[in-house]
Structure 1
Amino acid sequence: MLDFAIFAVTFVVILVGAVLYLYPSSRRASGVPGLFPTDEKDGNLQDIVDRGSFHEFLVGLHEEFGPVASFWFGRQPVVSLGSVDQLRQHINPNHTTDSFETMLKSLLGYQAGAGGGANESVMRKKLYESAINNALKNNFPVVLKVAEELVGKWSSVPEDQHIPLCAHLLGLALKTVTQLALGDRFKDDAEVISFRKNHEAIWSEIGKGYMDGSLQKSSSRKRHYESALSEMEAMLLAVAKDRKAQRKQTAFVDALLQSGLTERQIMEDCMVFTLAGCVITANLCIWALHFLSTSEEVQDKLCQEVEDLFGSDPVSLERIPQLKYCQQVLNETVRTAKLTPVAARLQEVEGKVSQHVIPKETLVIYALGVVLQDADTWSSPYRFDPDRFQEESARKSFCLLGFSGSQTCPELRFAYTVATVLLATLVRQLKLRPLKGQAPEVRSELVSTPKDETWITVSSRTS
């Protein structure tokens, strides 16, 4: 009888262990409060789809379970942090890579780090940032020219003509990013158009198709995405080969070619910068001009700052940091529009947030879109108010979230420079007004963009 009892207990223990392993719905992610998987294979994927976007899913998750919450990507547990205090506590030694880059490379199927340990990762990060800074310095006249051309075009339109911000500002971003990243080959509009076709095919699936699982369920969409990605990679490799033969030293890719990176690493870094750089730059400019159009007072204050600093002279790269109010306008644009609503890191060693232990190799989501409109952190969180960044507490919270200071992703710093040039050029010549009755809805994916085209009208500032 005793032998049978021992056998029965052992069998039950083994059976329970098997159930826990095979059916993740019987486990909670790391003991953190959160959702059980709704599907054995897909985890909480359907819950994300039902909420309409990953950001809205995270909003609901944190409303139900608090600032530290868990859910499931397939069979993998995920922990999400949804408050400034929790993000401040999240001690992760993986400071060698940017959280946005980590997520983007993962979605593209690229290796997030350099593959050679922490020191090599730090060196590669510095090289990447230095290459962007040098490209801006060497090609600043290109940025100024593209901005001046757009403002000149808008100055010639009738006052009652509606201007499509999304179309025009994506064009501005594509022209600046491709020329600064890949060189003067992209002065040719035909090259930019070809780049844009593949860029849109890739980004649309990264931004939504991967996040809601729909890409994997459509063979035709997956083939289209893989074809566009393959064409883009081949183009970037060809550009790198041509630039190496020309021995030029002005573009982003040139700095990478002078390093010890492999061809594959150079291609991947060019892919990340051109993909993210175009989208972040375009949408920062779109949202900034939309919010400016809703406030004549902000436009006038910005115009006065620009005139006080530059007079009638063009914007210069060296003096951009002196445009403090413009910085506040762009910070508030990023916050109000939730420009990058989500980032991620892999927990390389066991960590702890509040009383919750986060095991090694757990994916940790930064629910930035939730935090950016948290009423406990920001007064009147849904109101566009650049003056809030006069307060040191607001600046510190913003810096902690990675939107300013040394932890800012290089693509966002690049976008700030392009947007500052555009705003400073624009407000001295034109007044912006929104289209009556228009209230753009936000489509929160990896980078927030309007769901539909956003329109403004312009008039001469001297009229």
Structure 2
Amino acid sequence: MLDFAIFAVTFVIILVGAVLYLYPSSRRASGVPGLYPTDEKDGNLQDIVNKGSLHEFLVGLHQEFGSVASFWFGGRPVVSLGSVNHLQQHINPNHTTDSFETMLKSLLGYQSGMGGGANESVMRKKLYESAISNSLKNNFSTILQVVEELVGKWSSFPEAQHIPLCSHMLGLALKTVTQLGLGERFRDDAKVISFRKNHDAIWSEVGKGYMDGSLEKSSSRKAHYETALSEMESMLLSVAKERKAQRKQSVFVDALLQSSLTERQIMEDCMVFTLAGCVITANLCIWAVHFLSTSEEAQDNLYQELQDVLGSDPVSLDKIPHLRYCQQVLNETVRTAKLTPVAARLQEVEGKVDQHVIPKETLVIYALGVVLQDADTWSAPYRFDPARFEEDSARKSFCLLGFSGNQTCPELRFAYTVATVLVSTLVRRLKLHQLQGQVAEVRSELVSSPKEETWITVSRRS
């Protein structure tokens, strides 16, 4: 099984900036078919910009050159893999780092722990994953409460009222991530609103300015970003000091405080979890509810499973593994929406895929969005069909891509838990309806989201 983070790095700079910063030398990926650089300095950067996203660029690249193809980031050759078979062949011995975390931290200017060696990286990775798992166990009732508040609000709406999914799901994600990550101070809605202001400012600017130089050219935007980052860091440091003095041991930051991590490292890990956790949770919930609203059959199947497994009881952490159809719905949501369309690894030792040699220090992209809708791997790839995951072959491919099993990143596991509580509560009480004529187009960014606000209506189950 390939060991890589499933978080997508669709903004080209996250790949360019981090790799160029961390690995200043490379050699040509000889023998791999692909594009010549269109600009001596920028490589194929303008081609990517013209396509609108790295994912859309990769779709065209693999259509033209096949499932192993190359292009250029600046003066760097890059190899992209666009099939399950070739991803399976690509073995990278680096089992200690998370590609998304490394790139995000480099763009934020975080360096602590990045050169501490394999043992430190493994320790920190295990601590991070354990902190999220323990927070879910200790605070599952908080997720139930936040979801119940949302479903109760929806239940009170007139049946014709249009409900904005993006807005409501982001609110749900912000409340669950902040409370389970940082503690009860975020039961105060004013604190959540303040957090959201800085979160949005940071997330919207990370990497953007490197692509076209716009952030550096705009002193007002740069100042706004730097102020938001500084305020967020100060808040996280304040929360850590407060929790340490209280000696509590229930949320994500508490577990970090029990370790040997420095104050700075704790703040950085809290930043990564809260930034990425909010976005991946919100968008998984948006797409899951949207796709359920388009399929009465999927809603009925899920409702029947919930009745069989839960009866009249609320969903519980120990019952979630028994909700197999719910898991299929979420898996198919990730696949159909291409929730995380790109991942990347540096080739640390010379490797080979088919007859193609991949030299050391070549950047290798996993074109997950291409593979997730490959007709050779998935029948009717553009159709939302949770039943496809009844097949062993579909589950095996999904696991190989890093979306399930032991290699699933902890933020996605967190998101799956929140989404399971949400859809199980919603479907038992309400029917979800798609608005006629509405098409939810995908924006393939760091995490795929709808290009515009997505609306549904609901009606009460009889």
Q: How does 1:296-445 map to 2 (within 5 A)?
A: 296-445=296-445
CA offsets per residue over residues 342-381 of structure 1, 9 Å max, x none? 1111222222222222222222211111110011110100
Change (3 A) 1:211 1:404: farther
Aligned CA-pair RMSD: 1.7
Higher mean C-alpha deviation, range 223-232 or range 253-262: 223-232
Indicate conservation of the 8 Å contact 2:113/2:265, yes or no: no
Letter matched to residue 358 of structure 2: I
Q: Which moved more, 1:212-221 or 1:260-269?
A: 212-221
CA distance in 2, matches of 1:43, 1:320: 47
2:145 alignment counterpart:
145
Mapped to 1, the partners of 2:214 and 2:75 lie a distance apart of 18
Structure 1 counterpart of 2:223: 223
1:113–1:54 CA distance, 2 compared to 1 (3 A): farther
Alpha-carbon deviations, 1:203-247, whole Å to 9, x = none? 112375545654445443333222222221221112111111111
Identity of aligned residues (%): 84
Describe the SS at the equivalent of 1:428: helix
Q: Is the 2:107–2:207 Cα contact (8 Å) retained in structure 1?
A: no
User: 1:193 aligns to what SS in structure 2?
Assistant: helix
Match for 1:170: what amino acid? L
Alignment CA distance shift 1:148-1:212 (3 Å): farther
C-alpha distance 40-229 of structure 1, shift in aligned 2 (>3 A): farther
Distance 1:285 1:76 in 2: 37
Q: After the TM superposition, which residues 117-136 of structure 1 pair with which residues of structure 2 at under 5 Å, given as runs?
A: 117-136=117-136
Letter of the 1:53 partner, please give it: S
Contact 2:233 2:267 in 1 (8 A): yes
Aligned partner of residue 139 in structure 2, secondary structure: helix
Asked if 1 retains the 8 angstrom alpha-carbon contact of 2:28 and 2:362, the reply is no
**TM-score, with length taken from structure 2:** 0.91
Q: Is the 8 A contact 2:339 2:447 kept in 1?
A: yes
Question: What aligned pairs does 1:135-174 form with structure 2 within 5 A after superposition?
Answer: 135-174=135-174
What amino acid does structure 2 have at the position aligned with 1:132?
I
Supply the distance in 2 between the matched residues of 1:444 and 1:72 (Cα, whole angstroms).
Answer: 20
Distance change (3 Å), C-alpha of 1:359 and 1:29: closer
2:81, 2:247 → 1: CA distance?
Answer: 46
Aligned to 1:447: 447
Hey, what's the Cα distance between the residues in 2 that align with 1:319 and 1:298? 20
| Amino acid paired to 2:238 | A
Q: Does 1:196 align with 2:196?
A: yes
3-state SS of 2:206 partner: helix
Is 1:58 the equivalent of 2:58? yes
1:119 partner letter: N
CA distance in 1, matches of 2:423, 2:330: 10
Q: Is the 8 A contact 1:173 1:282 kept in 2?
A: yes
Q: Aligned partners of 2:245, 2:348: CA distance in 1, in Å?
A: 40
Counterpart of 2:55 in structure 1: which amino acid? H
Aligned to 1:94: 94
- 1:206 and 2:206 aligned: yes
The question of whether the paired residues in 1 share the 8 Å contact of 2:29 and 2:357 is answered with no
> Amino acid of the residue matched to residue 297 of structure 2?
E
Residues 346 and 363 in structure 1, CA contact (< 8 A), matched pair in contact too: yes
In structure 2, list runs of 5 or more residues that go unmatched. Answer: 1-26
1:268 aligns with 2:235: no
Distance of 1:212 and 1:366 partners within structure 2? 24
The amino acid across from 2:163 in the alignment is: I
Mark the CA change 1:295 to 1:155 in structure 2 (over 3 Å): closer, same or farther: same
- Residues 214-293 of structure 1: matches in 2 within 5 Å? 214-293=214-293
Distance 1:398 1:341 in 2: 13
CA distance in 2, matches of 1:344, 1:168: 31
Unaligned runs of 5+ in 1: 1-26
CA distance in 1, matches of 2:352, 2:106: 24
Which residue identity lines up with residue 37 of structure 2 in the other structure?
P
Cα deviation code 1:153-174 (max 9, x no counterpart) = 0000000000000000000000
Paired position in structure 2 for 1:13: none
Please say if residues 47 and 57 of structure 1, whose CA atoms lie closer than 8 Å, have aligned partners that are also in contact. yes
Work out the CA distance in 2 between the residues paired with 1:106 and 1:406: 26
- Say whether the 8 Å CA contact 2:305–2:323 is kept in structure 1: yes
Give distance in 2, aligned partners of 1:369 and 1:37.
23
CA 1:171–1:317: 2 relative to 1, 3 Å: same
Give the CA deviation at 1:405: 0.4
Distance 1:113 1:87 in 2: 29
Structure 1 residues 89 and 146: alpha-carbon distance in aligned structure 2, compared to 1, 3 A threshold:
same
Check whether the contact 2:198–2:231 (CA below 8 A) recurs between aligned residues. yes
Q: Which AA in structure 2 matches 1:317?
A: L
1:175 is matched with 175
Shift of 1:72: 1.9
Distance 2:211 2:36 in 1: 19
Cα distance in 2 for partners of 1:393, 1:107 equals 37
Higher-RCO chain (CA-CA 8 Å, sequence separation at least 6): 2
CA distance in 2, matches of 1:359, 1:391: 37
* Partner secondary structure for residue 42 of structure 1: coil
User: Secondary structure at 1:406's aligned position in 2?
Assistant: helix
Deviations 1:81-112 (A, max 9, x none): 11111111111011222333334334333349
Alpha-carbon distance change, 210 to 423 in structure 1, aligned in 2, over 3 angstroms = farther
Aligned residues: 436
* Matching residue of 1:3: none
Matches of 1:321 and 1:269 in 2, distance apart?
A: 28
